[in-house]
A and B are shown apart, each in its own frame.
Chain A
């Protein structure tokens, strides 16, 4: 009925190659964008922003980044936490060293620095493949966390070893520090999320993305048809780390405000983002959002029902959360290895033919 290619005539090549070729999809996308920018900021309160929206948006960026590496290029990385830490500490150093420069530029620069570090740790991927690579990226995770813990220059020699974000504003509105209004933090992150998603979407359907996917599907065959594995793998590491770095920077500067590296960017963070990518769907931008939403909402929901509703002790709820997350991952892998994105795709296929499937 409403989900049809029919009647939606494309009269130019630009029309033909747009991101959402189906009219309904396109309108849905505009509706989501408008409500995210123009409705949500007016209705959210502090709790919703801090418990749901900010983590969702920030993890979505990280998941998009990791999805580019794992889902599109097939290089499994367990170093996401470490790369997020690079983003956080670079933005901290930049913010404190150049207080007059806009925070927007700081965050983008933090992404660039993380990309450089990512390329450095991506170099072994040219020799090492599969599990060996996954474990090798753990080297990045442990080494980076140790580095930020032990070298005082990174945390400006503060006594606690923590870093805390100084107050900065963007267009006259404070976005970091204690003065930040919830809607400002939300909008600031949203801008980055939308930009990341658009960039990632267009990269993955362009030449770079096709090269990544060729490498993922069979690297030797890709090499034979002329894909340079060095370039393809390293660009994937760079782009992926760029997004992960931005999400780390936002996670520290806008969301938490003060972090201790081992706690905020430990190995669990790497796994969390990886789970988001798997549950959402490997090789899908929508999947990154779906996975992030799922794993951000699940603990909130569980906590509210178990602790708030049933009056269980919090530690039991935490254990149950582990059980449920673990079981869900297994169930997802068995029932639908391609994740939530695949369910969405199947639903769309059904919608196209509905209500006359034959």
Chain B
């Protein structure tokens, strides 16, 4: 087989894996958007915040230690204990639920019936707030996150492909795990939405707020639940990305990566988020591989957006989004 083709295949495979991670972030957006019509820009920062909290818990860091030290002149940094990964994840999840509750009580309850664009701006404000808050709470240094996920090149795939094609594919173990987790998460979410009582209530709220209210569904409860779910998705995404490239500010930028995924797949469709993620993941890796060297590289920054933009011109609601019907 020609070398270029084999490289291309490897690029496609890696793109698929990256796409799954994009889809994971995009899922959080879709959940909130479907249930409350809020386009949650803070999703990426939530992932960052979750990952930071997780690291902070595991290493036993003292929250706000920097602030306390600055004000009182003390020198405290760590409690001196180390929590096991699973326990820390559970605790972080509790914090994300509390965060969801606070966000709902303090912000979005007061913004009911506002224009969608106002809600969007509010989430940008929330993103700024959480970013500063997270940094102040846990410090802004680059943290290493290790909850025991396998990392490094997968030897089995390397050896097998070497035998068949004479070239070993480089596939990261972490990507494989992430793909598996994302697939599980999607199946779980779909099952939850289809078969559980709360899931059905969530879909009812997504369909029509007032009708849902009139059959006795508590909007407040559903919203807190949806934000918690989004927090959970953010935590998973935070763990995956954090393990991959360290917990740092750039983690919050994955939200920006997820936006074109959403546009492509449609804001309201869970399968859309996944298919969109895969298309973007493969597309940008292939484009960088084939065209990138000709135009100076680093095309990954914008390719997804331009692809989504061109796509939207022909299909304004995305691949699987609900058809936009305009009434006067």
A binding-site residues for B, Cβ under 8 Å: 76, 124, 127-132, 134-136, 138-139, 142-143, 145-146, 149-151, 218, 220-221, 224, 267, 271, 274-275, 278, 312-313, 315-316, 318-330, 333-334, 337
A321–B129 CA distance with the chains assembled, in angstroms: 9
B105-127 Cβ-contact flags toward A at 8 Å (1 or 0): 00100110010111011101111
B328/A220 in contact, CB under 8 A? yes
B124/A329 in contact, CB under 8 A? yes
Chain B residues with Cβ below 8 Å from A334 are: 107, 110-111, 122
A131/B136 in contact, CB under 8 A? no
Chain A residues with Cβ below 8 Å from B116 are: 130-131
A131/B140 in contact, CB under 8 A? no
Cβ of B229 < 8 Å from any Cβ of A? no
Chain A residues with Cβ below 8 Å from B308 are: 135-136, 139
A146/B301 in contact, CB under 8 A? yes
A143/B124 in contact, CB under 8 A? no
A138/B136 in contact, CB under 8 A? no
Chain A residues with Cβ below 8 Å from B71 are: 312
Cβ of B236 < 8 Å from any Cβ of A? no
B66/A313 in contact, CB under 8 A? yes
Interface SS, B side: helix
Cβ of B177 < 8 Å from any Cβ of A? no
Chain B residues with Cβ below 8 Å from A325 are: 125, 128, 132
Total A-B contacts with CB atoms under 8 angstroms apart? 142
B17-33 Cβ-contact flags toward A at 8 Å (1 or 0): 00000000000000000
A150/B132 in contact, CB under 8 A? no
Chain B residues with Cβ below 8 Å from A142 are: 301-302, 305
B269-297 Cβ-contact flags toward A at 8 Å (1 or 0): 00000000000000000000000000111
B263/A330 in contact, CB under 8 A? no
B125/A326 in contact, CB under 8 A? yes
Given contacts A326-B128, A327-B129, contact A136 B305 (CB under 8 A): yes
Chain B residues with Cβ below 8 Å from A323 are: 128-129, 132-133, 136
Chain B residues with Cβ below 8 Å from A320 are: 132, 136
A337/B131 in contact, CB under 8 A? no
A131/B111 in contact, CB under 8 A? no
Q: Which of B114, B267, B297, B312 has the most CB of A within 10 A?
A: B312
Partner among A139, A218, A220 whose Cβ is within 8 Å of the Cβ of B309 = A139
Partner among B120, B140, B302, B309 whose Cβ is within 8 Å of the Cβ of A124 = B309
B312/A128 in contact, CB under 8 A? yes
B306/A319 in contact, CB under 8 A? no
Given contacts A150-B295, A224-B328, A316-B66, contact A330 B107 (CB under 8 A): yes
B140/A315 in contact, CB under 8 A? yes
Chain B residues with Cβ below 8 Å from A316 are: 66-67, 70, 136
A139/B296 in contact, CB under 8 A? no
Chain A residues with Cβ below 8 Å from B263 are: 132, 135-136
A-B contact pairs, 7 of them (CB 8 A): A132-B318, A136-B308, A136-B309, A143-B302, A143-B306, A151-B296, A334-B122
Partner among A76, A135, A322 whose Cβ is within 8 Å of the Cβ of B131 = A322
Q: Which of A142, A143, A318, A337 has the most CB of B within 10 A?
A: A142
Partner among A143, A151, A267, A329 whose Cβ is within 8 Å of the Cβ of B128 = A329
A132–B318 CA distance with the chains assembled, in angstroms: 9
B302/A139 in contact, CB under 8 A? yes
A321/B328 in contact, CB under 8 A? no
Q: Which residues from 55 to 85 on chain B have a C-beta closer than 8 Å to any C-beta of chain A? A: 66-67, 70-71
Cβ of B299 < 8 Å from any Cβ of A? yes
A220/B326 in contact, CB under 8 A? yes
Chain B residues with Cβ below 8 Å from A146 are: 298-299, 301-302
* Closest A-B pairs by Cβ, 6 of them: A322-B132, A326-B129, A326-B128, A329-B125, A139-B305, A150-B296
Cβ of B316 < 8 Å from any Cβ of A? yes
B135/A322 in contact, CB under 8 A? yes
A275–B122 CA distance with the chains assembled, in angstroms: 10
A328–B129 CA distance with the chains assembled, in angstroms: 9
A326/B305 in contact, CB under 8 A? no
Stretch at the interface among B182-190, B194-202, B214-222, B254-262: B254-262
A337–B121 CA distance with the chains assembled, in angstroms: 10
Chain B residues with Cβ below 8 Å from A321 are: 132
Given contacts A224-B328, A316-B67, A334-B111, contact A322 B129 (CB under 8 A): yes
Q: Which of A138, A151, A312 has the most CB of B within 10 A?
A: A138
A196–B262 CA distance with the chains assembled, in angstroms: 37
A150/B297 in contact, CB under 8 A? yes
A143/B305 in contact, CB under 8 A? yes
A333/B260 in contact, CB under 8 A? no
CB nearest to A121 among chain B residues: B309
Cβ of B49 < 8 Å from any Cβ of A? no
CB nearest to B328 among chain A residues: A220
A325–B306 CA distance with the chains assembled, in angstroms: 31
Partner among A129, A138, A143, A326 whose Cβ is within 8 Å of the Cβ of B316 = A129
Cβ of B39 < 8 Å from any Cβ of A? yes
Q: How far is the CB of B197 from chain A (nearest CB, A)?
A: 30
